[in-house]
Amino acid sequence: MMQPALELVIAALEKIRETSDRAPRVSSNALAQLQSTYSVTTCLEEAGVSPTGPRLQQTASNKAQMLASVRERVCGCTKCAHLARSRTQTVFGVGNPDAEIMFIGEAPGADEDQQGEPFVGRAGQLLTKIIKAMGFAREEVYIANILKCRPDMPVGSFGNRAPTPAEMQTCRPYLVEQIDIIQPRVLVALGAVAVEGLLGARGTMRELRGRWHSYNGMPLMITYHPAYLLRNQLPSEKRKVWEDMMQVLERLEKPISEKQRNYFL
Ligand code: URA
């Protein structure tokens, strides 16, 4: 009897999700009331609804399902027609749907475009080393980019280009959904472009890195992009990133060994 009304609500929520840069929200109370009458959680999750107020505990498998539904939309996305034409495939994100830490980069490069996974090229291998030095396996954290498509390059040219502000604005809602679903305890933005994509704020790494910022109430650490460390191999630069990562470990109340404390000194 209530089914058509419910479908209308879900269609309206889906419309909000498509047209705004945030997932639609519903209070935990309202969600609990709906749940007590009808089994609608899955439908609401499929509509990308995140509860407000005290957060409903989503299980890892719920989160995986919700991410899979966002991934499906990303796969078919043609909002940036030029990128949809030039990409080999979209690069959604990888890792634990229930991760405590989420790393955010700028955009896939050529290797990522080929393999469909973020941070698998040289910079990615360095990021994986950093994650391991922190005491995590790559599979334990979540890794995503602001852009899900490789920024296109003129035919015959090599290298990568930075995403444009318009491309970042268009793609950002997908990242917002990923963060809303995963609800990591700490976000780490890698480089100034990732910061601009996430916060919409431009700044130099000198002024941004090494201290806590906030995204939607979540602690956000800003550090150098691993590609910067490949270009600047000075131990002093590696140490800066490592100090930022130690702050992350401290925030997560993870033990830091003496050996870890002395890396790159
Ligand atoms: N650089 C990024 O910012 N993201 C990737 O996935 C690879 C390189």
- 163 within ligand 1 shell (Cβ under 6 A): no
For 134, the token pair is: 């922190």
Rg (CA), the chain: 19
178 close to 143: Cβ distance less than 8 angstroms: no
pTM here is 0.81
Q: Residue 214: enclosing H or E segment and its boundaries?
A: strand 212-215
- 118 within ligand 1 shell (Cβ under 6 A): yes
- Residue 154, Cβ density class (10 Å: 0-12 exposed, 13-18 middle, ≥19 buried): exposed
Q: Please enumerate in sequence order all residues whose Cβ is within 8 A of that of 22, keeping only pairs 6 or more positions apart, or say none.
A: 173, 176, 180
| Model pLDDT for residues 6-22, shown as the tens digit of each residue | 666 766 776 676 666 66
| Model pLDDT for residues 127-179, shown as the tens digit of each residue | 999 999 999 999 999 999 999 999 999 888 888 999 999 999 999 999 999 99
| Model pLDDT for residues 19-53, shown as the tens digit of each residue | 666 666 665 445 544 544 444 444 455 455 554 44
Q: How far is the CA of 143 from the centre of ligand 1 (A)?
A: 10
Q: Which ligand 1 atom is at minimum distance from the Cα of 123? A: 8
- Return d(Cα 178, Cα 23) in angstroms, integer: 10
Q: Which ligand 1 atom is at minimum distance from the Cα of 105? A: 3
| Model pLDDT for residues 235-248, shown as the tens digit of each residue | 999 999 999 999 99
Per-residue confidence (pLDDT) for residue 158, from 0 to 100: 85
- 196 within ligand 1 shell (Cβ under 6 A): no
| Model pLDDT for residues 197-234, shown as the tens digit of each residue | 999 999 999 999 999 999 999 999 999 999 999 999 99
- 184 within ligand 1 shell (Cβ under 6 A): no
Q: What are phi and psi of 147, to 5 degrees?
A: -95, 140
Q: Which ligand 1 atom is at minimum distance from the Cα of 117? A: 6
143 close to 105: Cβ distance less than 8 angstroms: yes
